[in-house]
Amino acid sequence: MIEEPYRWVEAIANRREYIETQLAQGSPIAAVGYRDGIVFVTLGRARQKIFEIYDRIAMGAIGHPGDIERLRMAAIELASTEGFTRSAADVSLRRLAHYSLSPVMKAAFEQVYGPPYLARLLFAEIGSSPKEDLFLRVDYDGSIAADGLTAQPRQRFAVLSGTRQSAELMEKFLQKEHVTDAPLADAVNTALDAWSVGKMAISENGVKELPQRDVIRKHRDEQLANAAIEAAALERDAKSAIRYRILPGEELPSSLQR
């Protein structure tokens, strides 16, 4: 069936289309830098979508739960064995993504007789200063988009969503609204708005342009009525080596008042 090259290209294209359809409904995730670290925010009904990978690395994911779980386990195992044999300082998100995850996901995607990973991953690694923070997105085909590896101007945020259009709109929103050294409550607030923008873009008659402020707010309040906020932070100056902290519900309402 795919002995000829163009058939293979065709098979890959079909597979891409299939995966995109599967991922299209994924609830967005926003990771934004704030004064004392990085915070991951999403809204959900059932599954946990934000995870701790290692002392300084967190992950958000959309896709099939089984695939997310396998990739999450692989990431934790790689980081843990590296941290054990060398030291926690030698665990690097850059290598984890480029050297370990990306090739595995690419191979699974391109071997058209085997199952691909139905998952899209968003990672952040907190450094000792904001300059050393790294945001990184690994897609189902192994492609990587990063903020922080090169000398280009930094945005200090990253998003993950079901569709490209939704993600682009969220980025556009954050480029406008994100303040690098905002306190945590403000950052959660902005991230929730970004989530709303992303969510509006993937709904049935999705918005194409940035909606007005009050429209975003109205949508957000409607969504909050029947879903829970999930948030976790990587704290730069945490006393312990483990920087990841789940933000409990009682810490969140203060940021919803604004």
Partner 1 sequence: MDKPPLVLDPNFSGASEDFPAVLRRKGLLQVAPEPTAAAGGHSFVPTESTTILAFKFSGGVLVAGDRRATAGNTVVYDRADKVLEIDRHSIMAIAGVPATAWEMARVLEHSFQYFRRTQLQEMSVDGKVRALSKLLRDNFGFVMQGVGVVVPIFATYDGNSKPEARLYFYDAMGAQFEVTDYAATGSGSPAVRGILYYENHWGRKKLQELGEDDAVAIALRALDTAAEADTSTGGVDRSGKIFPLIKIVSRDGITTLPEEKVGAVFKQSVA
Amino acid at 217: R
As given in the structure block, the two tokens for residue 215 are 């429209």
Q: Which stretch binds partner 1 (CB under 8 A): 16-24, 71-79, 134-142, 163-171?
A: 71-79
Quickly list H helices, the chain. Answer: 5-23, 65-85, 93-95, 102-110, 164-177, 184-202, 213-225
Q: Is 85 in the site for partner 1 (CB under 8 A)?
A: yes
Q: Pick the closer one to partner 1 by CB: 173 or 244.
A: 244
Residues 218-257 that bind partner 1 (CB under 8 A): 240, 242
Give the integer Cα–Cα distance in Å for 162 and 148. Answer: 23
Q: Which stretch binds partner 1 (CB under 8 A): 48-56, 198-206, 212-220, 227-235?
A: 48-56
Put the strands of the sheet holding 228-235 in their side by side order: 157-160, 29-34, 37-44, 228-235, 244-246
- Tell me how crowded residue 65 is: count the other CB atoms within 10 A of its CB: 14
Q: Is 111 in the site for partner 1 (CB under 8 A)?
A: no
CB of 240 to partner 1, least distance (A): 6
Q: Is 205 in the site for partner 1 (CB under 8 A)?
A: no
Q: Which stretch binds partner 1 (CB under 8 A): 12-20, 33-41, 81-89, 227-235?
A: 81-89
Q: Is 76 in the site for partner 1 (CB under 8 A)?
A: yes
- Tell me how crowded residue 165 is: count the other CB atoms within 10 A of its CB: 15
Q: Is 90 in the site for partner 1 (CB under 8 A)?
A: no
CB-side neighbour CA atoms (13 Å) of 241: 7
Q: Is 73 in the site for partner 1 (CB under 8 A)?
A: yes
CB-side neighbour CA atoms (13 Å) of 91: 24
Q: Is 53 in the site for partner 1 (CB under 8 A)?
A: yes
Q: Is 123 in the site for partner 1 (CB under 8 A)?
A: no
For tokens 């896709």, name the residue. Answer: 63
Where does this chain bind partner 1 (CB under 8 A)?
48, 51-54, 69-70, 72-74, 76-77, 80-81, 83-85, 240, 242
